[in-house]
Structure 1
Amino acid sequence: MLVPVSRTLLSNLLQNHKVVSQISRSMRLVQFQTPNLSGPHLGLEEKVGGGVINLNAFDPSLPKTMREFLEQGETALSVARRALESKQPVLKRSEVTFLSPITFPDKVVCVGMNYVDHCREQNVPVPKEPIIFSKFGSSIVGPYDEIVLPSNSKEVDWEVELAFVIGKKGKDIKATDAMAHVAGFTVAHDVSARDWQMKRNGRQWLLGKTFDTFCPLGPALVTKDCVADPHNLKICCRVNGEVVQNSSTSQMVFKTEDLIAWVSQFVTLYPGDVFLTGTPPGVGVFKKPPMFLKKGDEVQCEIEGLGTIVNKVV
């Protein structure tokens, strides 16, 4: 005997199935170390703030760096999905040291003035084209690593940012095709020496942005299928527990697709390339009076669904 099913119930069942399927495919990729393992390893953070599945233990043929993992594309991702679904043993969070989810990228692409509310804070017009600069890859550190104040700067500032990582090589990429080139999203802290950025070195931004330890990333590279809308996430920064930045990625002027299309006009994008997409208002240089980081400060950068990075200033 067939039992009639209401449209509402059927809709709910289909929606639940869609949610379960989405969760089953979602991955939080990490690079980590432990005292008992030599060198970096690839893992999966089981949930935000959770333990870690050792992907290299699940399949020793997998590479041990994220960049090489991404270069293998869907082949490597399918192995990681199997590991996630196979109920592998989980290392306790206290047992591992989290590295940046991506290290030694070919490029770190940064975007300036990319939040409408940040432009308003400075009383400047919204850019008509993306403002692109860079950091050196050597500035990248892990999500819980220390930020080292340089001896030749007195104006070191915080900037929470949404970052995305390229997963597929491309050049002259159309905006409509851009998301196919994204591996996932993570949290970034674009630490900035304002004196070097705004007053010295001809006011070019590079040196002020690229001191060692000035680019904490992590804790996980959250695959794009896990992020329903990267341009509608809460984003905030706290210094010593006080909220100093509080906005939404919906304020971004140029979205992920726009940035990939724009930058790939000029350069080829490679797996592992990192994009820092700009910061919302509330940075220290525009406070009255200006406020800069000092030794002993703790900075927390958090983005909804992606996680939190915590950096002590030394």
Structure 2
Amino acid sequence: MKLARYGLPGQERPALVDPDGQLRDLSALIPDLTATHLTPETLDALRALDPYRLPLVSDPVRLGAPFTGTQKFIAIGLNYRDHAREANLPIPERPVVFLKATSTIQGPNDPIIPPPGFSKLDFEVELGVVIGSVTRQIPVARALDAVAGYCLINDVSERALQMEAGGGQWALGKSCDTFGTVGPWLVTKDEIPDPQALTLWLDVNGERRQTGHTREMIFTVAQLISYLSHYMTLTPGDVIATGTPAGVAMGENPPRYLQIGDTIHAGCDLLGEQRQRVLAPGSSFSPC
């Protein structure tokens, strides 16, 4: 099952994707798709619906983030060996964990608007894991039981803030508004039996810059969930961005950072595609 939200920012309505790839409105059944709807019981009830009996959503529409109410946006750094090498950093022995502000979260095709004075704007296509149950100290063997579904993420970064300002400000460099594009869908875990069998890619201005496969992760999805749950309680709607493969702008010689007007096109088999355009600092929000 693929779940989505559509409409103007702040006015999104819940929807699911029917077998023909068309959006079907769910708002007569639930007012919005929130973290509280990501539990196994609610997802089973939605899965039991006949999508063809739901109202068809007319195109074109803006897609928002596929659910709302995320309490924690957890990200993992250096989780692909090739990315660690291009960053000239050692392979981590334990997951590198940082938090992104939940206010970064936006729709898959919404523009990226960097902060004033930005200089090293970067992209990172990632597999996102969405938690569906309260999870504490879960063993690796059962960790995927905690998953509601998966989504595509662009973990946008301002590297000058992340790596240089004040000795490095990871949370700040990763948490500027518009730096967390999520979607187009939440794909429930029954459609993705193995999260380590997915291909990720990202283009800038039509040029392929990133290609990777989740089998190359240093720490698997199950390992990450188990590890995190031993230090913090995971709750429905929490998002884990599981790291990016090589090809980011920072890793090139010389680096090719994003510029105003650049377009990004990212995708993952089974998880859909996103497109963003980089606008000037201070630009008004204008969905793509």
**Match of 1:191?**
156
1:178 paired to 2:143: yes
What's the offset of the Cα at 1:240? 0.7
What's the offset of the Cα at 1:89? 3.5
| Counterpart-to-counterpart distance in 2, 1:273 and 1:284 | 28
**Match of 2:243?**
278
**Match of 1:132?**
97
1:1-314 equivalences in 2 (<5 Å)? 27-33=1-7, 39-46=11-18, 50-57=21-28, 59=29, 62-70=30-38, 73-94=39-60, 96-314=61-279
> How large is the RMSD of aligned CA atoms in angstroms?
1.8
| Counterpart-to-counterpart distance in 1, 2:237 and 2:138 | 16
Question: Secondary structure at the residue paired with 2:247?
Answer: coil
What's the offset of the Cα at 1:87? 4.3
Contact kept? 2:203, 2:266, Cα under 8 Å = yes
What's the offset of the Cα at 1:224? 0.5
What's the offset of the Cα at 1:46? 2.4
What's the offset of the Cα at 1:88? 2.9
Contact kept? 1:42, 1:66, Cα under 8 Å = no
Contact kept? 1:297, 1:312, Cα under 8 Å = yes
| Counterpart-to-counterpart distance in 2, 1:84 and 1:127 | 46
* Counterpart residue type for residue 18 of structure 2: E
Contact kept? 1:55, 1:83, Cα under 8 Å = no
Structure possessing the higher radius of gyration over alpha carbons: 1
* Counterpart residue type for residue 2 of structure 2: R
Question: Secondary structure at the residue paired with 2:84?
Answer: helix
Contact kept? 2:265, 2:275, Cα under 8 Å = yes
Distance 1:258 1:138, change over 3 A: same
What's the offset of the Cα at 1:118? 1.3
Contact kept? 2:26, 2:54, Cα under 8 Å = no
Identical positions, percent: 38
| Counterpart-to-counterpart distance in 2, 1:233 and 1:285 | 24
| Counterpart-to-counterpart distance in 2, 1:308 and 1:132 | 26
| Counterpart-to-counterpart distance in 2, 1:196 and 1:74 | 39
What's the offset of the Cα at 1:86? 4.8
* Counterpart residue type for residue 138 of structure 2: I
Work out the number of aligned pairs and report it.
279
Q: Which runs of 5+ in 2 are unaligned?
A: 280-288
**TM-score, normalised on structure 2?**
0.91
Contact kept? 1:63, 1:69, Cα under 8 Å = no
| Counterpart-to-counterpart distance in 2, 1:31 and 1:221 | 10
* Counterpart residue type for residue 220 of structure 1: W
* Counterpart residue type for residue 141 of structure 1: Q
Question: Secondary structure at the residue paired with 1:199?
Answer: helix
